[in-house]
Amino acid sequence: MKLLFIGDIVGKPGRRAVNTLVPRLRERHALDFVIANGENSAGGSGITPLIAGEIFDAGVDVITSGDHVWDQKEVMELLANEKRFLRPLNYPAGTPGYGSGVFEFRNPQSAIRNSIAVLNAQGRTFMQPPLENPFLLAAEEVKRLRERTKIIFADFHAEATSEKIAFGRFLDGQVSAVVGTHTHVQTADEQILPGGTAYLTDAGFTGPHDGCLGREIEPVMKKFLTGMPQRFEVAKNRVLLHGAVIEIDDASGKAIKIQRVSEAI
């Protein structure tokens, strides 16, 4: 199977990129499944049910999130009613929503149905709020998910490169792919780890790249210069979709190939 993972969608420009490019990429790569991190899709911070619906309608099958998951109050409705929307699994027991899910897909070249598990976890180094240990909880969750499918994708939403690499190595051979999000800077270290897990430290972000991590550059520079709070508006120009296309062997769940994506509207 082939899946596309889309790095953090930022604001309206990011959503426009998804709407425009996902149908093209589905056809070009013969994709079976599309996952996108949507935690910055509502005005650059958080997500709402309406915006999640827009992303699903564009051809995305599952939306993951991260530390900005709570930024819009409407997200509670989404967490309660939409299993295709995931929040980090390492929140305490009783937190609304799901940290993982198993989803069916059908190869466009055949009528054979298969399933994929998607797992969302958040790092702890330089991240707020501090959550439960993602390594221990992911290990337990992966063991449970492997009873249902060998194809498992993990979005690790974390700041520290070292924590992301360690997480990928920790799950190597147990999941099909580990791709990092959160820093909004696409890394060039895509690889297949020794155990057969596709790995990329950060997928980058989907949105306006003529700014600072999707925001207008002037207020960001002013914040660094003065230390005073600023309103960081979403930038507008040079809109790119960042992510990765991953090919996975259906029988073993091991990755065959990983290819970074950087596509302009």
Q: CA 65 to CA 87: how far, in whole Å?
A: 5
At 126, which amino acid appears?
A: F
Q: In this structure, what DSSP letter does residue 208 have? A: E
- Which helix (DSSP H) or strand (DSSP E) does residue 137 occupy? helix 134-145
Question: Tell me, what's the pLDDT at 111?
Answer: 65
Question: Tell me, what's the pLDDT at 259?
Answer: 98
Task: Find all residues with CB under 8 Å of 21, minimum gap 6, and list them.
Answer: 241, 263, 265
Q: Is 110 exposed, middle or buried (0-12, 13-18, 19+ CB in 10 A)?
A: exposed
Q: CA 151 to CA 160: how far, in whole Å?
A: 26
Q: 197, 29, 43, 19: which is closest to 119 by C-alpha?
A: 197
E-assigned strand segments in the chain: 2-6, 8-9, 33-37, 62-64, 100-106, 113-122, 152-157, 177-181, 191-192, 198-200, 205-208, 239-248, 255-264
Task: Find all residues with CB under 8 Å of 118, minimum gap 6, and list them.
Answer: 35, 62, 64, 86, 100, 101, 103, 152, 153, 154, 155
Tokens of 55: 């992303």
For the stretch 218-239, pLDDT in tens is 999 999 999 999 999 999 999 9
- Which helix (DSSP H) or strand (DSSP E) does residue 167 occupy? helix 161-171
Task: Report, as an integer, the average pLDDT of 155-163.
Answer: 98
Tokens of 44: 């650059």
Please, which pLDDT band fits residue 38 given cuts at 50, 70 and 90?
A: very high
pLDDT of 52 higher than 70: yes
pTM over 0.85: yes
- Catalytic residue (one of 29, 68, 157, 184): 68
68 catalytically annotated: yes
Please, which pLDDT band fits residue 180 given cuts at 50, 70 and 90?
A: very high
Q: CA 75 to CA 262: how far, in whole Å?
A: 29
Question: Tell me, what's the pLDDT at 107?
Answer: 67
Average per-residue pLDDT for the chain: 97
Task: Report, as an integer, the average pLDDT of 187-192.
Answer: 98
Give the position of tokens 């259906």: 250
Residue 36 sits at the vertex; the CA angle it makes with 140 and 201, to the nearest 5 degrees, is 65
CATH T-level assignment (fold) for domain 2-264 = Purple Acid Phosphatase; chain A, domain 2 (3.60.21)
CB distance 181 to 219 below 8 Å: no
At 28, which amino acid appears?
A: R
pLDDT of 108 higher than 70: no
Using alpha carbons, list the distances in angstroms from residue 114 to 27, 117, 119: 19, 10, 17
Question: Tell me, what's the pLDDT at 106?
Answer: 73
Break the chain into its structural domains and give their ranges.
2-264
In degrees and rounded to multiples of 5, residue 162 shows phi and psi of -60, -40
